[in-house]
A = this chain, B = another copy of it.
Amino acid sequence: MAKIETKIKEMGLYLPEPMPTLGGMELPFPWVRVHGRRVLISGHGPQNPDGTLAQPLGKVGAEVTLEQAQDSAKLVGLSILASLKRELGDLDRVTRWLKFLGMVNSAPGFNRQPTVINGFTNLIIDLYGKERGAHARSAVGMAQLPMDIPVEIEGEVEID
């Protein structure tokens, strides 16, 4: 098995199934858009192994705690990795993580978005190492996110 996938397994983590759509309807956009060596990644949310949205839902700082939100950001990382795996066939093809925007569904007064998004960043560094996995990023507070997910992340990686 490829190296990155082996690590994911060894860490006791999973790559979720594709998100089920209502009545099997096709989404009008791709989760990942490959353009030469650039891979553009749509905003992803946290998923259970079967692809459904992972609980808890709601605003961080209200219904969702800081620790739960960090877990959620880590799950978003796994959702992104699962989409990359489906598109690229092999996660080892990702040569560099480049830039990510971490969006946190934020209750009034909650201002620790970077700590939340560290759940994502630390996963990527653990898997890809410091040089390959490093990414420019922002971590900011949204008024609302689709289906009340606590965290959504989009970005770009490079492939060989």
Q: Which residues of A contact B (CB under 8 A)?
A: 28-33, 35, 40-43, 96, 98-99, 101, 103-104, 106, 108-114, 118, 121-122, 125, 134-148, 152, 154, 156, 158
CB pair A33–B136 under 8 Å, yes or no, is yes
C-alpha spacing A124/B151, complex, angstroms: 27
* In the bound complex, CA of A13 to CA of B24 (Å): 31
With beta carbons under 8 angstroms apart, the residue of B28, B112, B148 that contacts A121 is B28
Q: How many copies does the complex hold?
A: 3
Please report the C-alpha to C-alpha distance between residue A154 and residue B141 in the assembled complex, in whole angstroms.
14
**CB atoms of B137 and A43 under 8 A apart:** yes
A158 and B35 within 8 A (CB):
yes
B111 to A148, Cβ gap below 8 A? yes
